[in-house]
Chains A and B, each alone.
Chain A
Amino acid sequence: MEKVYKLIAITISIIILGFSITFFFLPKKDFSENEFRYLTEFPKFSIDKLFKGTYIPSLENYTTDHFPLRDNFVSLKTKAYLLSGQEMISDVYIAKDHYLINRFKTNVNQDKIIKTLNKFQNNNPNINIEMLLSPTSTSINEDKLPKHNINESELDIINYYYNNLNFKTIDIYNILKEEKDNYQLFYKTDHHWTSYGAYFAYKQYCIDNNITYYNLDDLNITKVSDNFLGTLYSKVFTDKKYADDIYKINTLDYDVTIKYLNKITDDFYQEKYLKEKDKYSYFLGNNEPIIEITNNKIDNKEKLLIIKDSYANSFIPLIANHYQIIIVIDPRYYNLNISDYIKDNNIKNVLFLYNINNIDTDIGIIKIR
């Protein structure tokens, strides 16, 4: 026994020294692809920072952020967690068929949000306003979750919104449930819906609004990426093997002009993002306060204003086939009065599009006027 102790103490002491020495010689990265953030820089010493108590924590974070084999250690931790029986890491379930699925917690702000939206409707009495609240993988792919889980019901919260909003609502829960075994509606490694999920939301929207929609068979479906590792992957850091495919689904001959705040393009899809970590931004980029999309093949003067979160980004390329002009506002970044915008631009149709897991904490929707 004594001998084993000696062996353990010596071996682990050497391992510790090995890591400490390697740490000093290892080139430091400044950006972590997997976490999508800048790592802590070596803090410059100052007496002031030391006494304020900010110097030491950054120094400590520096050692941990740049620790040798850091990414391997993080994925080892995930494996150890799974081995010890844990099925959820940072509020993400490690579900069946390599799906990662967000935990859904009770919403707390729904009454405030409903009040804000109903007030918005009062301010714009003659406008056709609709709400499309999407469920997420959490409820649609329920059967992939552990049998006993601690999710609240997404459907209950969606229905709560729908029963209390004073305007038209679009229910896509059923169509997604019906189609979930035929198509992959949500990414396995990301919290967004796939282009298929977006397609069925589009289909339901069209049915509810008497628009003749395109059948899937009539659309052109192209795989544009097979190595998408999304936000859920970043949170739990499981196996890289099970990356997602990204599809582009649209008519063959769409012809649009898209005006961003500081650029104009002729396509929804931004190829450059497929080479980056944040591949979902392939759909209409990200963090744009306002986008104006003109369909050059239609001359019906129909305008639609979409107020939305990022779920809408893969929905918009489809619905854009039916309106001459679509204005997209992301109220997280758009700080002006939307009601004024509606009056000034003579808009008749407004669509709110959010997913139920995000709406509660969305910092944009709460400031809509």
Chain B
Amino acid sequence: MVFSSIPFIFFFLPIFLIIYYIVPYKLKNFILLIFSLIFYAWGEPVYIILMLFSSLVDYINGLLLNKIKNKRKRILILIESIIVNLSLLGFFKYSDFLITNLNSLFNLDIPLLLLPLPIGISFFTFQTMSYTIDVFRGNIKYEKNFLNFMTYVSMFPQLIAGPIVRYDTISEELHHRDISFNNYVNGFIRFLEGLFKKVLIANTLGSLFLEVSTNYLSYSSLTLILGIIAFAFQIYFDFSGYSDMAIGIGKMLGFTYLENFNYPYISKSITEFWRRWHISLSSFFKDYVYIPLGGSRCSVIKNIRNILIVWFLTGLWHGASWNFIFWGLYFGLVLLIEKFILKKYLEKLPNFFKHLYSIILILIGWLIFAFDDINILINFTKNIFTNTFIQNDFYFFIRNYGITLIIAIILSMPVSKIIKEKITNSKWKGVYCTIFFISYLILFIITISYLVSDTYNPFLYFRF
């Protein structure tokens, strides 16, 4: 089930929330667990076993690590956890990628497994693994109650698309949390904002990207570039919208998740971009891969190696395809160049050029990310340079999507924060507040109309 759908908004969420708020405090985790399992099983009745298995393994690891003081045995437990989780992830996410590459490399004919990707596997394996690592390191206390642990792993707000919530972040709230009307209100508003971002902006610009990427042979160069810009906004509003919805629902339940995005497109360097984009993932790789490898507190050569390993893995994590690996290594390389060469020069540039520099490099990144077929990626890139520079199609797309693009640009900057502050201090507060109220209502109704129209599917058997 996805958040931005009629069944979720009108049936799953209200029914769950009513029960959740009514039951006594002690039962709340249990209710949350039951509904999370339903939420998961909704799309994947079979793979739920994987999630239960992964949780059980790391729950037991936590218990064992608490008992056992022998260092060697503790390391074995740690290695066992990493192996179990990474094999789950590796087998279900990467085996076909591996087989395809082996086949073409050695001219083999191993049949593909064609397993559907278990929902959320990239997230829950990372969460349970990080739990064991943190207990091993002594950073957190182990969880005694399996139901609580299971609730943490399966919690439906962040189950499907993150953010990657570490046990550390919510361990206290798992036992005592503030379930209040205020939290409901703030969470609900956050959820709405995420929903608007996903449905009204990401989906609209997604259809522009789809149109451009299927007809890139005939469209003008500027249209192709516009397509990449549309993709950049699609992926940002889709992903950050989803994070907003997750954080919002979490809030409604009394949980505080960490922020996952912090206006990444206003960055002045790529280093800054990666501090603002998908924060829970970058900090995961930093804490569990980069620093254990020695981070930057080692020789320059080792430091370079560490950075490249981290970015190879970051790329691979995004999908089982070469373009994601290239995408990761591309950013690794850019970050290396920034760190060792460009940094001093960049600092002296006027802000405008810092932004321009970052945006161009980010867009090149999305170009690599957008096409998992390398041939299409190469041809698309070639056509940017060889097609007619500007034609009718560019004007058409600007007319059709210009308004949405402008709204996307504005919302990529921290303006809404500023506006909200201005309103609070304004003399015209009443008027602004009314406008605010009415716009949210209208946006909500329009969003619902988009969702309802999803299955609007005129069957034209009298077509021709």
Contacts and interface: CB of A to CB of B under 8 A. Distances in A.
B11 interface: yes
B452 A74 contact: yes
B204 A84 contact: yes
B400 interface: yes
Nearest to A310: B464
Interface in B402-450: 402-404, 420, 423-424, 433, 436-437, 440-441, 444-446, 448-450
Contact of A85 (B400, B452, B463): B400
B45 to A, nearest CB: 6
A19 interface: yes
Nearest to B463: A231
B106 interface: no
A355 B433 contact: no
Given A8-B441, A17-B14, A73-B452, A59 B7 contact: yes
A249 to B, nearest CB: 21
A196 B404 CA distance: 41
A235 interface: yes
Contacts of B11: 20, 63
A19 B188 contact: no
Interface in A25-76: 34-37, 40, 50-51, 53, 56, 59-61, 63-65, 67, 70, 73-74, 76
Given A1-B433, A20-B14, 10 more contacts: A12-B441, A17-B14, A51-B45, A60-B1, A63-B10, A64-B454, A73-B453, A77-B453, A85-B403, A87-B399
Nearest to A105: B215
A188 interface: no
Between A1, A37, A237, A358, the greatest number of chain B beta carbons within 10 A of the residue's beta carbon is seen for A1
Interface stretch (B130-138, B238-246, B390-398): B390-398
Between B396, B445, B462, the greatest number of chain A beta carbons within 10 A of the residue's beta carbon is seen for B462
Interface string B367-410: 00000000000000000000000001101100111111000000
7 contacts: A9-B188, A11-B441, A12-B441, A20-B10, A56-B42, A74-B449, A146-B396
Interface stretch (A118-126, A201-209, A278-286): A278-286
Contacts of B395: 147-148
A65 B455 contact: yes
Contact of B404 (A77, A84, A149): A84
Contacts of B186: 5
A37 B459 CA distance: 5
Contacts of A67: 6, 10, 452
A77 B200 CA distance: 11
A257 B186 CA distance: 73
Contacts of A110: none
Listed from nearest, the 4 A-B pairs whose CB atoms lie closest are: A37-B459, A148-B395, A358-B464, A234-B458
A146 B441 CA distance: 32
Contacts of B453: 73-74, 77
A358 B460 CA distance: 13
A15 B188 CA distance: 13
B455 to A, nearest CB: 4
B46 interface: yes
Contacts of A51: 45-46
B48 to A, nearest CB: 12
Nearest to A359: B464
Nearest to A6: B185
Contacts of A280: 462
A86 interface: yes
A89 to B, nearest CB: 10
Contact of B189 (A9, A63, A88): A9
Contacts of A15: 444
B436 A4 contact: yes
Contact of A36 (B420, B424, B440, B460): B460
A362 interface: yes
B43 A56 contact: yes
B281 to A, nearest CB: 29
A52 B463 CA distance: 32
Contacts of B446: 76-77, 80
A16 B460 contact: no
Contacts of B75: none
Nearest to B184: A9
A85 B399 contact: yes
Given A63-B6, A85-B401, A231-B458, A309 B464 contact: yes
Contacts of B459: 35-37
A70 to B, nearest CB: 6
Contacts of B204: 84
Contacts of B402: 85
A19 B45 CA distance: 28
Contacts of A106: 218
B112 interface: no
B457 interface: yes
Nearest to A85: B403
B9 A16 contact: yes
Contacts of A60: 1, 5-7
Contacts of A362: 464
Given A4-B437, A9-B189, A60-B6, A278 B462 contact: yes
Given A5-B186, A63-B6, A234-B460, A146 B399 contact: yes
Contacts of B452: 64, 67, 70, 73-74, 77
Contact of B188 (A13, A56, A191): A13
A23 B401 contact: no
A86 B46 CA distance: 42
Nearest to B446: A80
A263 interface: no
Interface in A305-355: 309-311, 355
Contact of A9 (B185, B218, B401, B458): B185
A149 B460 contact: no
Contacts of A219: none
Contact of B10 (A7, A23, A56): A23
Interface string B2-20: 0001110111011000000
Between B188, B444, B458, the greatest number of chain A beta carbons within 10 A of the residue's beta carbon is seen for B458
Given A37-B457, A85-B400, A146-B399, A64 B6 contact: yes
A19 B6 CA distance: 10
A148 B399 contact: yes
B462 A235 contact: no
A183 B84 CA distance: 74
Given A51-B45, A286-B462, A77 B449 contact: yes
Interface in B154-198: 184-186, 188-189, 192
A73 B457 CA distance: 14
A172 to B, nearest CB: 18
Nearest to A20: B10
